[in-house]
Amino acid sequence: MRQDSMYNVHTDVTMLQLLMAKWQPRSGSNSLMKESMIPRLLWVHKDMSMKELHFKVFKHMRFIFSEWADWTHPETQRVPKSDQRVLKTLIPFPYRRDADDPQMSRAEFDALTDEEAFSICCRDIFEGKCDGFQ
């Protein structure tokens, strides 16, 4: 079994780093600044298609879409705290089953399978080999 220099992981797997950030109020100011968080690490097989890779990342981050749907739904009961100004200016959750459907609630989004949610949120992802992983 061959291994690379990345944590002695087998050579058919590579690490994918998801760099995440959140907006925080700047002290003594009304402006916001982007604060980086610890990267999330995913180990992916090099023979995955781009669609499989995006699906894996989507499943890992799906909870963020649920929160977004919940915070921006017109009937939400959630009220942001005073230090959560970013939540007051979120754009409405744009993903719908059909263009004419009303905005999805968190419960409706969470009731979807991972495959259904992915096909709604990532319609333009197509099959193909991951460039640069070979």
- Predicted TM-score (pTM) of this structure: 0.71
pLDDT at 134: 45
Range of the domain at 115: 13-121
Q: What does the pLDDT average to over 4-26?
A: 77
Q: State pLDDT tens for residues 40-52.
A: 888 888 888 888 8
Tokens of 125: 């992802």
* Total count of residues recorded for the chain: 134
User: Would 33 be classed as within a structural domain?
Assistant: yes
> How far apart are the C-alpha atoms of 9 and 43, rounded to whole Å?
9
User: Would 133 be classed as within a structural domain?
Assistant: no
User: Would 4 be classed as within a structural domain?
Assistant: no
User: Would 75 be classed as within a structural domain?
Assistant: yes
> How far apart are the C-alpha atoms of 32 and 16, rounded to whole Å?
28
- DSSP, collapsed to helix, strand or coil, labels residue 103 as coil
Q: What does the pLDDT average to over 57-74?
A: 91
> How far apart are the C-alpha atoms of 70 and 92, rounded to whole Å?
10
What is the number of domains present in the chain?
1
> How far apart are the C-alpha atoms of 6 and 35, rounded to whole Å?
27
In angstroms, the Cα distances linking 103 to 11, 59, 79, 95 are: 44, 21, 18, 7
